[in-house]
Every structure is written in C-alpha cells, then in structure tokens.
Chain A
Amino acid sequence: MYDFDFVKPGSIDGAVKALAAEDAIPLAGGQTLLPSMKQRLNAPSVMVSLRGIPELQGVCRDGDVLVVGAATTHARVATEAAAEYPGLAALAGQIGDPAVRAMGTIGGSLANNDPSACYPAGVLGSGATIVTNAREIAADDFFDGMFATALEEGEIITSVRFPIPQKAAYAKFHQPASRFALAAAFVARFAGTVRVAITGASEGGVFRWTEAEAALKESFTPEALSGLTLPAEGMIGDLHGTPDYRAHLAAVMTRRAVAAAG
C-alpha cells in the first residue's frame, strides 16, 4: 500500500481535528480498510487511528438502552452484551473469524456499510440510533445504499444506542470463503412492534422487510411468514448466488431467525 502519515489522537476532539487534513481518513479495526488499501482502492494521506480514544470503548446499559462504544470490537460485544442483549451478542460472535473479531469494530462496520456485513442488520433491525461527534442519526436514516451512509466528511461515529427488544435473533447463511453473509436476517420483537432487517441480499444494501414485520406483528411465529416472498428484482447476483436464490434465502433466514428468537 502507499505510505501515509499515521496519527493516533487520545480524544474525539483530537480525532476530529486530525481528520480535517486533506485526504485524511479514520482507522477503526482496519479489517476491511487495510485490505482495500493494499489493493490501492483507497490511498489516504493521513490515517487517524481511533484505537486510542477511551470514550469510544465499551458496552454499558443506560435504562432500556444498550450503549456500545463505536470502537468496541466484535469480540467484546459478543461477550459483554450477552447478558443484556443476547441476540446482538450472537450476531457479533458470527462476524468473520476470531482474529477478525479481535480487531474489527462496530463503528467501522457501520461506516463502511458493506451490503453483506452483519452489523447493519443488527442496527437497522433493532431501530438503533447512531451517535456521532455532531448528532444522532436514526438507523432508518443512516444506511444510504451499498457502501454509503448519512455520515458527512470527517464525522465520526462515537456510539450506537440499541433499544433492547423482548426477543431477537440473527440467522446468517455464511458465504464460506469471505465469512460475510450470503443472506441474513435480524428479527427483533418489541412491545407492539416487530422489525426485520435483511443483509447480504440487496444491491441497495441492508433493508427492512416491512411485509414480514406486519405479519410477525400479528403472530410472531415462522408460520406467519408462509407464502411471503421477496422480489428477486434488485437482489445481488454474483458467482455465489443468483438474485432469485438470494431472495429465497433471505426469506428462509427470516423464518429461522423468528424460530431462534422463540
């Protein structure tokens, strides 16, 4: 990869200042960014590491909300969220492999918004709020298509606030080479409402399956989804699966997630 200047500020303010430099980009866990830089798909002049900022770390409960610091690794969420929000912890424990989970972070995953990543489904399916150095963004307003988000240049995710559902589960069909989702569904049941988010399937990235949400609100059972299908139009087609296959698989994963949530 091309060389760059490396800085590691100890505060959010310091990171925001460092990111004002031309072609500066933030570095979270680096598990996607560094490989993309080796391929020269990305060549920043300054890398601003977010690993040295204590406020971005950790998992804590705030009333009915679970707050996850943006630089918290998948491995930490998998263990530290297990008691408060087991569905989310299980999702974090399925990302990549153990070594990737020891470095990769929730903030990095969300800012990248890979159309096959796990966290976007957990965040959209929970109706979480993405907190940045400048504002709060509802998950419904955050994801803006493949690899695109509502984040402005130089804006840093600081934490993610998850309302804790009554029940939730994530069902993922692994693409075994990349360990991303070939299709996956996150289902969360709250008092009076159900949210369903699908990742890995659509060319538009993560999305809510509102027909499934309505059916599950009436009856939170896998049977409530029988007959419901997703259109193949707009689904990803590549050597791993056709759009038809992904549309079908996403519905299967949704039923499995409901069954797993119990």
Chain B
Amino acid sequence: MGKVTMTVNGRQMTAEAEGRTLLSTWLREGLGLTGTHVGCDTSQCGACVVHVDGQPVKSCTALAMDLDGAEVRTIEGMANADGSLSAIQQAFQDHHGLQCGFCTPGMVMAAAALLKENPKPTEAEVRHYLEGNICRCTGYHNIVKAVLAASGQDVSGLGIAAE
C-alpha cells in the first residue's frame, strides 16, 4: 500500500493504492469518481477512457502507481465552469448520442481527444477514431453525428437514425 497523488480535473487528489490498483479503481473507489465506467475490464470497450497528461487512456489498463503525479481528466471534469454541459456533452444530448448511457463517459472523453487533435474530422475519421469505444446499444450513428455537431459542422444532411 502506498499513497498516489494526481491532479484530477484540476485539483490535487491523494488516495491509497496497492501495486495492482488500476487507475479506474483508484478513480472510482479511491476518489469516488464513478463517472468513469468499467465495462469489459480487458481494454476492449473504452467505457473507462480518461485523459492522462492530455492523451486518451483506458484507465482499466493502467496502474495508479505508475501514473503518480500525472494530470488526469475524467467525465466529471468535462462540464463548463458554470456547470452547464460542454459542447460535446450538449451535442450528445441534442442528437440522442446515448441510449443506456453506459459507454457515454468513454465516448465523450474519446471524442474530446479526437477534436483536440483534429478539430474538423470527417465522418469516416470520427468512426475510425472511435473504434476502441464500443456501444452495445449500437447507437453509433447518433454518436458520430453528435461528435460532428460538436465540431461545429452541419449535420442536418446526416438524417436521423431509425433506432
């Protein structure tokens, strides 16, 4: 057991960790930040994606101790300072980019990483970038639409998916 400290959503946070404590466990159980979801726990599904030092990382496949001192952003840190939804979150709501919502935290974090790297992606680029994030409701069409809308592009021609 040891103490691990990271800057999480702009605040310095400390919690205990064993060697085997995963970043996802440390965030959820150590800090109570349960917005980061654990889906497959095998680094396939992407529900647990957070940003570590600005990069998207599957938090179920990283050790908390290895990331001591890192800067981490989770879904809890995505809203605007006044509490309103960020552009990406609002686009998910506006375009029905979620059904059960389980994959949504990872989808939003992955989308934010994409738009930072590529502010005006094509539809194909969005689909390609999100290949590590699985939605078992298979609501991909509206997720892609939400990400394109969040990038400020006109999505009126994409139609509405018949769910």
Contact = CB atoms under 8 A, between A and B. Distances in A.
Given A4-B19, A47-B19, A99-B110, A27 B63 contact: yes
A34 B21 CA distance: 11
A100 B132 contact: yes
Interface residues of B, number: 28
B123 to A, nearest CB: 17
B34 interface: no
- Secondary structure of the B side of the interface? mixed
A30 B19 CA distance: 13
Given A4-B20, A98-B110, A99-B58, A38 B41 contact: yes
B131 A35 contact: no
A208 interface: no
Contacts of B20: 1-4, 37
Contacts of A97: 46, 131-133
B22 to A, nearest CB: 8
A51 B66 CA distance: 8
Contacts of B65: 6, 8, 49
A151 interface: no
Interface string B101-128: 0000000001001100000000000000
B58 A100 contact: yes
A44 B66 CA distance: 16
Interface residues of A, number: 27
Given A97-B132, A100-B58, A3 B42 contact: no
Contact of A49 (B42, B56, B57, B66): B66
Nearest to B19: A6
A132 interface: no
Interface string A73-104: 00100000000000000000000111110110
A22 interface: no
A146 to B, nearest CB: 21
A98 B116 CA distance: 13
Given A6-B66, A35-B42, A51-B66, A98 B113 contact: yes
Interface in A153-177: 177
A248 interface: no
A96 B132 contact: yes
A103 B63 contact: no
B42 A99 contact: no
8 contacts: A4-B20, A31-B61, A37-B20, A38-B41, A96-B132, A98-B56, A103-B58, A103-B61
Given A6-B65, A6-B66, 5 more contacts: A1-B20, A34-B61, A37-B20, A97-B131, A99-B56
Interface of A: 1-6, 8, 27, 30-31, 34-35, 37-38, 47, 49, 51, 75, 96-100, 102-103, 177, 179
